[in-house]
Chains A and B, each alone.
Chain A
Amino acid sequence: MSDQPPIRLTIPDFALVVLVGTSGSGKSTFARQHFKPSEILSSDACRGFVSDDENDQTVTSDAFDVLHYILGKRLKNMRLTVIDATNVQPEGRKKLIALAREYHAFPVAIVMDVPERVAHERNQSRPDRTFGPHVIRRQHGELKRSMKNLQYEGFRRVFHLRGEAEVAAAHIIREPLWNDRRTDHGPFDIIGDVHGCYDELVLLLGELGYHIDGETVIPPPGRRAIFLGDLVDRGPKTPDVLRLVMGMVAAGTALCVPGNHDVKLKKALDGRKVNPTHGLALSLEQLEAETAPFRKQVAEFIDGLVSHYVLDDGRLVVAHAGMKEDMAGRASGAVREFALYGETTGEIDEFGLPVRLNWAADYRGRALVIYGHTPVPEPLRLNRTINIDTGCVFGGALTALRYPEDEIISVPALATYAEPSRPFLPNDDTPTEDGLSIQHREDDLLDIRDVTGKRIISTRLQSNITVREENAAAALEVMSRFAVNPKWLVYLPPTMSPPETSPLDGYLEHPAEAFDYYRRAGVPTVVCEQKHMGSRALAVVCRDESVTRSRFGVVEGGLGVIYTRTGRRFFEDGALEAAFLARLRDAVTGAGLWESLNTGWVLLDAELMPWSAKAQQLLVDQYAAVGSAAGAALDRAVSALQSAADSGLDVTGLLGRIQNHRAQIKQFVTAYRGYCWPVTSLDDLKFAPFHLLASEKAVHLDKDHRWHMDTLAGLVPHSDGLVMATDYRVVDLTDADSQAEAVAWWEALTGRGGEGMVVKPLSFLAQGRRGLLQPAIKVRGREYLRIIYGPTYTDQLDVLRKRGLNHKRSMALRQFSLGVEALERFVKREPLRRVHECVFGVLALDSEPIDPRL
């Protein structure tokens, strides 16, 4: 071997690397030297998978099926993959190229061109390779014929290693793709289609805090601009715009992606024949006044632009005409086409323009995509995409989006420089017939793939929450048959755990254990709120119907909705619900919350009394029934035993037991009766809110429970008796007196027949050593528990004390995290499917089997 300088093979870090070489050319050795084992797909290994024999040529077809399948999955997941097969035949390579195209992977060929003789000798040294020299000869011929075609077949880079020495000297350099700027975190000011509107651009940059000094632009500290392309054409000062942007890009104060107009201009500047329509002629005319070197610079600048960028750890994508999820961060001709032109159906609309497919409507990616290209009257948000081309050159505005602040800054056009072929500015007609935003219209159609099957939902409070397939299936029926319109269903409450079982005689639950739980976790202060015995009710209350429509996207939705903890409409009687909501709305108005919270809607979490209003069926079928049957049965048993006693039989023990049982049934009946009263009108209902969960732009989990209690108490005087304040105590867990006072209060409450109290960390959210703490623990009264554990449960406490809380607590936390995530997504105006996913998850978790008495 002669002295051979190292040979650098530079490939993108996401590529399809096809090794081409005869059997015995050293492909497998090469692959092992330069790539991870998991990156290598070997045809011999695939032969082994399907036949246990890596050399069995009869299974070649099946082996390649397996290879192609795995390759497809790897490319889908953006993994660099090396194909270790001879690949000397064009038909074999064709399939690989097709897969690279499908997944927009960068195809690279590395040709291992070693002499026939060397390959043959290597094969002969291997007992498992039984084929003769003619095979190598044939393969070598195929290789030679292939060489000139590789580029033409679609390989974007071809490395030809001639001889063993070059193979040995080669080493691989991996580089990120040009579009990969994930490590670049901004912040950015992203600017829509400028189209030669230099004056507006200068104004906009000024608004954004950029200082323009001659040709130098100084951004606010740390910030950079991103131009979404279409800098040129139609407008009055294309060369000025180009000069400014090119200067910023060169100075590192801006990034720029190309637009279709820019690319066409470049073609024209290159002297290629293009149709000078859509404002191109104007650009060329303006550029005529510039120097030839400037024009050359422009052409080079445009030529060097990268189709799109993936930024900020993959959270942000910018492209001129948009970017589909399965193309972002990849490199292919199709990706570039999409970035420049979007997706069109091939049809032409009545204005002579191509019909554009609304890729954004189908967009389901996690990254926020900012794009332009299609002028819209207002920035258009849909499924985590935002179009900020507000048609400056057509007399609209030049718009920027500040990232990550998600703030829109616009300057109106100083003039109308061109007439659009298709009207884009709002006319007298509303954009959609029912006045809904495009996002709200899309939200009407949820997709089953977003809710069914095993799902893993990541939430802010607890990273990943798994919803099992069978639980999702159970929720599908409930959600489909009984739930309110999902647009209303922005939250479902979690289940609530009781405390550890009390060791106190006669008690199953006692406040001491709830206090212990929080104190042990380092929580100094809790709030104890009276637990009203009614039915859980969530109320979305809107200031007026226009908010219902504009914020929730519900047409004819009245002033909101009241729904149960499983998402059902609370009232079957629509008129009663409307009256209820009107009274709540007036209460919110009276309390001044619209102004103080700067909102048009609120979400209240409450208990609605009486219990009998909603749980009538349960009461009648279960509680009243048991009371009735037990009363009748035990009365007769007592009188039979008394007759027996009268006639001299010794039944004292038995009689005593039955009489005790009879007394407990009376207590049981008393317990449930306390929660029932007849409802004939709105005046008979009581609404006791305890959380003001959310309002416009805010989820109020950052406020402590005192704020919630005080703010909600403000509703009471304006509600005409409907809203009831909830009694509460703030308890210092380091102060014995404070706790004793709360216990006494609880005993008094439950002694009067109250359900009990709920203990919560004062701060609403609290973290313990092992993560999120229970948001609330219910401590139920001794008598109340008769309707849960059965009338005579106090006689069986020893058995009942053995209750496990782990599952209940884990479920409470998972549901809480999902519920909060749903609210936060709603408040951030994410598409409904992202909110619904979480709410659906809460409902699905409900179908996990858990002791219902907890």
Chain B
Amino acid sequence: MLLTLTTTHPPASDLGYLLHKHPAKVQTFSLAFGQAHVFYPEVSEARCTAALLLDIDPVGLVRGGSDFALSQYVNDRPYVASSFLSVAIAQVYGTALNGVCKDRPELAATPIPLVATLSVVPSRGGEDVLRRLFEPLGYQVTAERHTLDEQFPAWGMSRYYTVTLTHTVRLADLLTHLYVLIPVLDDEKHYYVGVDEVEKLLKRGEGWLAAHPARELIVTRYLKHQRGLKQAALSRLVEDAPDPLAQDDEEEAAERQISEKVSLHDQRLGAVLAVLKQTGAQRVLDLGCGEGRLLRLLLAERQFNKILGMDVAHRSLEMAAERLRLDQMPAHQRARLELLHGSLMYRDPRLEGYDAAAVVEVIEHLDPPRLAAFERVVFGAAQPGVVIITTPNREYNVKWETLPAGEFRHKDHRFEWTRAEFAAWAQGIAGRYSYRVRFLPIGPDDPLVGSPSQMAIFERGETEIPTKEVAVAELWAAAGGAA
């Protein structure tokens, strides 16, 4: 990784004073992760360039690590501008970063024409993010994007850019901007990010970060997406910080990107809740509960005295426990809820004996040949009185302009069904396992393509439920406009 700084401010060689590095020397500094070399490829009164070359020891990086992944051993870290560079700037150009210059104090305080070149910068979000970060600060940005492999043009472009930033600016400000924004571009940090990092950000961001239009992105990425830290930093930066609880699941975020209606998932959960309330169910299953958004709604209803959330991803259950604050829940509340690591591909006696089950946006994550197992596990073995299944309606995809034709809404979707396909599948199940089934749209019901999401409600023979179709709006109202 190479960072060059060039100035044409005469006498340009004064850059040596500003950086506290003699232009006639090649200096080497030892860092925790390798070495940094400073040298001057070009020195004249008219133009002077200082180079900071990072020589990172790739084997040293991973020694003693316990998190085994091959990506640890073969990765781009030694070659790209990352938090390693920020650390190197702070350690090698520390005095300059702090705006200190004993010999040329007035020069350090003066904006001078500077060009910074970063040999390789990984940018998550591409050139757009690069520009959004630097242009508001007055930089002129040029970026050259690299191919992944010129022998395999089909693989496309990499996320790496060679970047030139040109601006008339104090050197300390330039270094500060690089210090903060390089890890933000990379969206990664090589060290543990804790509360100290908030202080560091606020200190380095003083005077520019609060007014930066991309400050939320900067804070989020700088603090490694840790909600608590982000909130702490934002609330100290500005007063109108957003509610930290308004966080979405990744999938909903993806869905939100393609649907202008923010609340499709809320509508879906509301409709599920409404149906569950309507059935009078007391013991309910949330199969594929994810991080527990439906569970939260169910807990708020006294009608449900036994709630079991199951998911196949252990990590999701941990997050659900965290979000629902399971450890702080009062005992009587806690007794109503159970989280279970399980799978819809295996018969599980722990799922038997429930009044109702909700299977919200789950089946489209199963390979179609495995639906036979799902069917036997849920309808054949667990046999809840009521089963509510929701899944996307593929027909509606045409309404979303941002979704390319033929593509699914989420990368893990194994299929998306039309209303007819869903109905045929659901009716087959109902016939085989003695359930009655009816369907409800979720979201705006287009006369041509239907609603964005679709719901099937299965009721076992003896269950007493009104069979007339109820509009979602009515159900929504019945649920007290939940969520």
Q: Report which of B63, B122, B148, B369 forms a contact with A624, defined as CB distance below 8 A.
A: B148
Kindly state the separation between the CA atoms of A853 and B73 in the bound complex, as whole angstroms.
Answer: 8
Q: Is the CB of B59 within 8 A of A485?
A: no
Q: Report which of A569, A654, A669 forms a contact with B26, defined as CB distance below 8 A.
A: A654
Most buried by B among A444, A448, A651, A658: A448
Query: Does chain A have a CB within 8 A of B78?
Result: yes
Stretch at the interface among A76-84, A281-289, A627-635, A721-729: A627-635
Contacts of A634 in B (CB 8 A): 79
Kindly state the separation between the CA atoms of A449 and B342 in the bound complex, as whole angstroms.
Answer: 10
Q: Is the CB of A625 within 8 A of B148?
A: yes
Contacts of B149 in A (CB 8 A): 624, 627-628, 669, 673
Q: Report which of A474, A643, A852 forms a contact with B41, defined as CB distance below 8 A.
A: A643
Contacts of B122 in A (CB 8 A): 629
Q: Mark B313-349, 1 if CB is under 8 A from A, else 0.
A: 1100000000000000000000000000111111111
Query: Does chain B have a CB within 8 A of A620?
Result: yes
Stretch at the interface among A12-20, A30-38, A399-407, A787-795: A787-795
Contacts of B151 in A (CB 8 A): 673
- Chain A nearest Cβ from B214, distance in angstroms: 24
Query: Does chain B have a CB within 8 A of A505?
Result: no
Q: Which of A518-542 contact B (CB under 8 A)?
A: none
Query: Does chain B have a CB within 8 A of A451?
Result: yes
Query: Does chain A have a CB within 8 A of B104?
Result: no
Q: A481-B365, A644-B51, A651-B39 are in contact. Are A629 and B68 (CB under 8 A)?
A: no
Q: Report which of B59, B74, B152 forms a contact with A787, defined as CB distance below 8 A.
A: B74
Contacts of A633 in B (CB 8 A): 1-2, 79-80, 119-120
- Chain A nearest Cβ from B43, distance in angstroms: 7
Q: Is the CB of B41 within 8 A of A476?
A: no
Contacts of B312 in A (CB 8 A): 476-477, 480-481
- Chain A nearest Cβ from B402, distance in angstroms: 23
Contacts of B422 in A (CB 8 A): none
Q: A629-B80, A647-B40 are in contact. Are A622 and B2 (CB under 8 A)?
A: no
Query: Does chain B have a CB within 8 A of A446?
Result: yes
Contacts of A447 in B (CB 8 A): 346-348
Closest to A851 in B: B68
Q: How many residues of B contact A (CB 8 A)?
A: 69
Q: A445-B373, A619-B155 are in contact. Are A853 and B40 (CB under 8 A)?
A: no
Q: A448-B343, A640-B2, A651-B39 are in contact. Are A624 and B377 (CB under 8 A)?
A: no
Contacts of A641 in B (CB 8 A): 39, 41, 53
Q: Is the CB of A790 within 8 A of B160?
A: no
Q: A444-B373, A477-B313, A678-B152 are in contact. Are A644 and B40 (CB under 8 A)?
A: yes
Kindly state the separation between the CA atoms of A672 and B259 in the bound complex, as whole angstroms.
Answer: 41
Closest to B68 in A: A849
Kindly state the separation between the CA atoms of A633 and B80 in the bound complex, as whole angstroms.
Answer: 7
Q: Is the CB of B146 within 8 A of A622?
A: no
- Chain A nearest Cβ from B440, distance in angstroms: 27
Q: Mark B111-155, 1 if CB is under 8 A from A, else 0.
A: 000000001101000000000000000000000001111011011
Query: Does chain B have a CB within 8 A of A636?
Result: yes
Contacts of A476 in B (CB 8 A): 312, 341-343, 346
Kindly state the separation between the CA atoms of A620 and B160 in the bound complex, as whole angstroms.
Answer: 13
Contacts of B76 in A (CB 8 A): 625-626, 629-630
Kindly state the separation between the CA atoms of A476 and B146 in the bound complex, as whole angstroms.
Answer: 40
Q: Is the CB of B343 within 8 A of A790?
A: no
Q: Is the CB of A632 within 8 A of B347?
A: no
Q: Mark A427-461, 1 if CB is under 8 A from B, else 0.
A: 00000000000000000111111111000000000
Q: Mark B5-49, 1 if CB is under 8 A from A, else 0.
A: 000000000000000000011100000000001011111000000
Q: Report which of A479, A620, A625, A654 forms a contact with B345, defined as CB distance below 8 A.
A: A479
Q: Is the CB of B380 within 8 A of A629?
A: no
Q: Is the CB of B158 within 8 A of A624?
A: yes
- Chain A nearest Cβ from B147, distance in angstroms: 7
Query: Does chain B have a CB within 8 A of A344?
Result: no
Q: Report which of B75, B155, B314, B346 forms a contact with A451, defined as CB distance below 8 A.
A: B346
Q: Is the CB of B59 within 8 A of A799?
A: yes
Q: Is the CB of B154 within 8 A of A678?
A: yes
Q: Report which of A479, A481, A624, A789 forms a contact with B155, defined as CB distance below 8 A.
A: A624
Query: Does chain B have a CB within 8 A of A465?
Result: no
Kindly state the separation between the CA atoms of A853 and B343 in the bound complex, as whole angstroms.
Answer: 31
Q: A629-B122, A636-B162, A649-B26 are in contact. Are A620 and B365 (CB under 8 A)?
A: no
Query: Does chain A have a CB within 8 A of B398?
Result: no
Kindly state the separation between the CA atoms of A647 and B25 in the bound complex, as whole angstroms.
Answer: 12
Q: Is the CB of A850 within 8 A of B343?
A: no
Query: Does chain A have a CB within 8 A of B283?
Result: no
Q: Mark A753-793, 1 if CB is under 8 A from B, else 0.
A: 00000000000000000000000000000000001111111
Q: A448-B348, A647-B40 are in contact. Are A620 and B26 (CB under 8 A)?
A: no
- Chain A nearest Cβ from B6, distance in angstroms: 11
Query: Does chain A have a CB within 8 A of B381?
Result: yes
- Chain B nearest Cβ from A736, distance in angstroms: 35
Query: Does chain B have a CB within 8 A of A337?
Result: no
Q: A622-B74, A633-B119, A637-B53 are in contact. Are A473 and B341 (CB under 8 A)?
A: yes
Q: A654-B26, A790-B59 are in contact. Are A640 and B41 (CB under 8 A)?
A: yes
- Chain A nearest Cβ from B313, distance in angstroms: 6
Kindly state the separation between the CA atoms of A488 and B367 in the bound complex, as whole angstroms.
Answer: 14
Kindly state the separation between the CA atoms of A669 and B155 in the bound complex, as whole angstroms.
Answer: 14
Kindly state the separation between the CA atoms of A485 and B122 in the bound complex, as whole angstroms.
Answer: 40
Kindly state the separation between the CA atoms of A792 and B24 in the bound complex, as whole angstroms.
Answer: 31
Q: Is the CB of B70 within 8 A of A853?
A: yes
Kindly state the separation between the CA atoms of A569 and B156 in the bound complex, as whole angstroms.
Answer: 26
Closest to A653 in B: B26
Closest to B119 in A: A636
Query: Does chain B have a CB within 8 A of A800?
Result: yes
Contacts of A632 in B (CB 8 A): 79, 119-120, 146, 160, 162
Contacts of B344 in A (CB 8 A): 480
Q: Mark A810-854, 1 if CB is under 8 A from B, else 0.
A: 000000000000000000000000000000000000000111110
Q: A447-B347, A620-B148, A629-B122 are in contact. Are A644 and B41 (CB under 8 A)?
A: yes
Kindly state the separation between the CA atoms of A748 and B481 in the bound complex, as whole angstroms.
Answer: 73
Contacts of B467 in A (CB 8 A): none
Query: Does chain A have a CB within 8 A of B247?
Result: no
Q: A644-B26, A649-B40, A799-B59 are in contact. Are A480 and B343 (CB under 8 A)?
A: yes
Contacts of B159 in A (CB 8 A): 625
Q: Is the CB of A444 within 8 A of B154?
A: no
- Chain B nearest Cβ from A832, distance in angstroms: 11
Query: Does chain B have a CB within 8 A of A623?
Result: yes
Kindly state the separation between the CA atoms of A569 and B369 in the bound complex, as whole angstroms.
Answer: 12
Contacts of B79 in A (CB 8 A): 626, 629-630, 632-634
Kindly state the separation between the CA atoms of A789 and B148 in the bound complex, as whole angstroms.
Answer: 20
Q: Is the CB of A654 within 8 A of B162?
A: no
Most buried by A among B158, B162, B348, B370: B158
Sample 7 A-B pairs with CB under 8 A, ordered by A number. Answer: A444-B372, A445-B347, A446-B347, A622-B71, A623-B74, A669-B149, A849-B68
Chain A residues with CB under 8 Å of chain B are 444-452, 473-474, 476-477, 479-481, 484-485, 569, 612, 616, 619-620, 622-634, 636-637, 640-641, 643-644, 647, 649-651, 654, 657-658, 669, 673, 676, 678, 787-793, 796, 799-800, 849-853
5 nearest A-B residue pairs (beta carbon): A643-B41, A448-B346, A480-B343, A636-B119, A624-B148
Given A448-B347, A480-B346, A633-B120; 8 other pairs, CB 8 A cutoff: A444-B372, A616-B155, A624-B148, A629-B122, A643-B41, A649-B26, A673-B151, A788-B70
